[in-house]
Amino acid sequence: MASMTKADIGGMLARQGILIAFAVFIIGFTIANDRFLSPDNVMGVIRSSAILGVMALGVTFVVISGNLDLSVGSMMSFSTIVVLDLHDKIGPFLAIPAMFAMTLCLGAFIGFLVGYLKLNSLIVTLGMLSAIHGLTLTYSGGQNMDIADKEGTWFGVFGQGSALGIPVPILIFLALAALLGIILAKTAFGRKVYAVGGNGTAATFSGIKRARIVFLCYIMSSACVAVAGLIQASRSMGSQNTVGQGLELDVLAAVILGGASLLGGSGTIFKTVIGVLILGFIQNGLLLLGLQFYVQNVVTWVIIILAVWLDIAAKRGKLWSNIA
């Protein structure tokens, strides 16, 4: 019975360890600072996490399909700069769809390389990270972008507006999470994404067009990046051309924290939302404790290592390997 109990405990920690750790963090932060769970702080954390969350929703499809997307940070910089620049040139009504079209073209190119040419997703998206950053600098001429007439445009509604007392970025995040959650869990396309990520060879022999599924996953990821860029541009009404730099690490951390396996074939949109909130509340708690912002980078790294360890442990059913 003793050994069975240890196995049960190990299995529980492997499956739910990150949630247990999150609960410990929440309790600790609440004891350390009574403002941590105040309504204003909670709403502020969710609002500030909305951009990261929207990007993580799209990357969830990519990761479940067995691939990676490290280009989302630089792609978000590109979409933000483009929509701000086009806002003053052709107006917001045309600038928004034009930005979406350009961002989707980038996603389609990555999807073509990974899906149809079967190139390694890590190498492709790592290369595209630098390429898109260079494209952004070329497009902007190395300059930051600002909207000339900030008071005379309705464009700010996406990042600054609210409805029924809830900030619009949160509403966009939740609505997109609900839509993509239904697509992933309730449609044939969602089942094919799981099949391709779980066993691509078997999926191909089952008649699933693997290349098309991977291609569409990158399209969805780039669409979510475009939404995130729109929120970012609308929130600040101006932006540096490196606004998304480094966000790919946080996005991947949130997806992994939500339980999506780097090996593909597992994960849900709901759990990704939880992962985003875990990351947001931990970073907020560290700030309330008076720690410098760069401490978050160390904590994020520790969390990623912990999440990957628990993911592998869940696959083998125990926390520790038999090999010393």
Calculate mean pLDDT across residues 290-311: 71
Confidence of residue 278 (pLDDT cuts 50, 70, 90): confident
Range with the poorest average pLDDT among 24-28, 42-46, 67-71: 24-28
Do residues 45 and 51 make contact, with C-beta atoms less than 8 angstroms apart? Answer: no
Query: What is the reported pLDDT for 313?
Result: 66
pLDDT at residue 13 is higher than 70: no
Calculate mean pLDDT across residues 24-49: 87
Confidence of residue 324 (pLDDT cuts 50, 70, 90): very low
Query: What is the reported pLDDT for 10?
Result: 54
- What DSSP line would sit under 87-117, residue for residue? HHHH-HHHHHHHHHHHHHHHHHHHHIIIIIS
Calculate mean pLDDT across residues 92-118: 97
Query: What is the reported pLDDT for 14?
Result: 54
Query: What is the reported pLDDT for 137?
Result: 94
Amino acid at 65: S
Q: Of 223, 205, 203, 224, nearest to 213 (Cα)?
A: 203
Domain assignments of the chain as residue spans, ordered by start: 51-147+164-316
* Residue in the structure block whose two tokens are 């079967």: 118
Interval 206-252: pLDDT, tens: 999 999 999 999 999 999 999 999 999 999 899 888 999 889 988 99
φ/ψ of residue 162, rounded to 5: -150, 155
Range with the poorest average pLDDT among 97-101, 129-133, 317-321: 317-321
Mean pLDDT of the chain: 87
Q: What is the pTM of this model?
A: 0.89
Question: If you compute the radius of gyration of the chain from its CA atoms, what whole number of angstroms results?
Answer: 20
Query: What is the reported pLDDT for 256?
Result: 86
Calculate mean pLDDT across residues 283-310: 75
Range with the poorest average pLDDT among 80-84, 119-123, 133-137, 161-165: 161-165
Q: Of 57, 68, 165, 168, nearest to 126 (Cα)?
A: 68
pLDDT at residue 294 is higher than 80: no
Q: How far apart, in Å, are the Cα atoms of 151 and each of 84, 147, 220, 236?
A: 14, 10, 33, 12
